[in-house]
Amino acid sequence: MNRRVCHIITDLDVGGAETTLWRLLLNEKRNMENSLIVSLSDIGPMGVKLQESGFKVIALNIKRNNPLSVLASGILLHKKLLEFRPDIILAWMYHACLISILFKYKYRIVWNIRHSLEFYHSEKIHTKLIIRICGLYSKHPNAIIFNSHNSRQQHYQIANYIHKNLITVQNGIDINVFKPKSKRKLEDANNIVIGHVGNYRKIKGHSVFLQAMSLLANQYDISLAMAGNHVDPNNQKLLRLLKEYGLLDITSLHGSIRNMSEYYNSLDIFVLSSHSEGFPNVLVEAMSSGLPCIGTNVGDVPHLLENEYIVAPNDHVKLASRCRLFLNDENKREKCGVSNRELIIKNNSIEEMVYKYTRVYEDVCSST
């Protein structure tokens, strides 16, 4: 059945939640008129893309420190909901989840939590507070979706999210975009290229990755490729690390890349070295691209990789050791890449994600 769904989201900037919403809406087999997208802030770049694709997007432009702005936006949202008459309100991220509770007596509410709590104790006070407040109201929505098994367990154990209907729906990717293609080497064609993707933030473990690679550089003919926000030649701190570990001459820094599929297909091995993850999108993209992968034991990595290819965060020695498994055995690289893609096709395609969201809609509507 073509349910009418109002998506309320904190903002429509470029991020994991916003991209997942974009992919979900574009791949649902539903009439665009049955979807309404409401941003608590401005339209944002993803909102513009959705409007250009024909979806109705509303920006409330809430100013958090202005009570009159919050009140006026609440009245506007109430009016738009009355006009749209949704079967379900799907609230993305904490602020939207909290606001959705105002409408729980009139509409079916589903929360969509996109955050992991590995470093809950170091979160900002404001973030901790809203996580806790949402926990107090967690019995009120009709269902709560988490994008990773790890996040679901953390919210239950740490923040007291108690609900009989806690659901995991992992992110889906386009397996027809992220697929193995003819290798187009970005580095030395004779070297084995080890790749890394992650915005330059401490939790992405760039230094651990580089420490591990420094243990391999003198033993193997390798090149390194690194991509992500601020992972570029202008990042002086990163350049100093590369010099410190003797890797500057074999490393290329690509920054933010528009065509990630082409980037993955320039690699031979992919490494995720994060200290924290919810659902690791880049790992899934690399696996779908047919790459053998090594990852740290964070987030949902244990649900994606075999134990043999998982290491503890911050353990650069073990990370290097696991990379040697692939460096020493080309046949192992190929077999692992094939099995990785098969796993993603089975569990993490966009079609599978859309199917699971549709099931949530139908289960919620049929149970009330």
* pLDDT score at 188: 53
Structural domains in the chain, sorted by start:
5-172+349-366 (3.40.50.2000), 192-347 (3.40.50.2000)
Both structure tokens of 205: 């473990």
Tell me, what's the pLDDT at 256? 87
State pLDDT tens for residues 238-293: 999 999 999 999 999 999 888 899 999 999 999 999 998 888 999 999 999 999 99
Amino acid at 233: P
pLDDT at 137: 94
Position 165 scores a pLDDT of 84
- For 126-153, give the DSSP string: HHHHHHHHHHHTTTSSSEEEESSHHHHH
Q: Supply the pLDDT for residue 68.
A: 76
CA-nearest of 277, 275, 328 to 303 is 277
Q: Which pLDDT score, from 0 to 100, does residue 24 have?
A: 94
Please tell me the predicted confidence (pLDDT) of residue 368: 61
CA-angle at 48, arms to 45 and 49, nearest 5° = 90
Nearest CA to 134 among 156, 165, 161, 102?
161
Closest Cα to residue 119, out of 135, 137, 131? 131
Per-residue pLDDT tens for 248-260?
A: 999 999 998 888 9
Q: What's the token pair of residue 290?
A: 């047919």
DSSP H stretches of helix in 168-246: 206-214, 236-244
CA distance 305 to 320: 17
Give the Cα-Cα-Cα angle 219, 222, 224 (nearest 5 degrees): 130
> What burial class does residue 348 get, using C-beta atoms within 10 Å of its C-beta: 0-12 exposed, 13-18 middle, 19+ buried?
buried
- Ranges under pLDDT 50 in the chain: none
In tens, the pLDDT along 93-124 reads 999 999 999 999 999 999 999 988 887 888 88
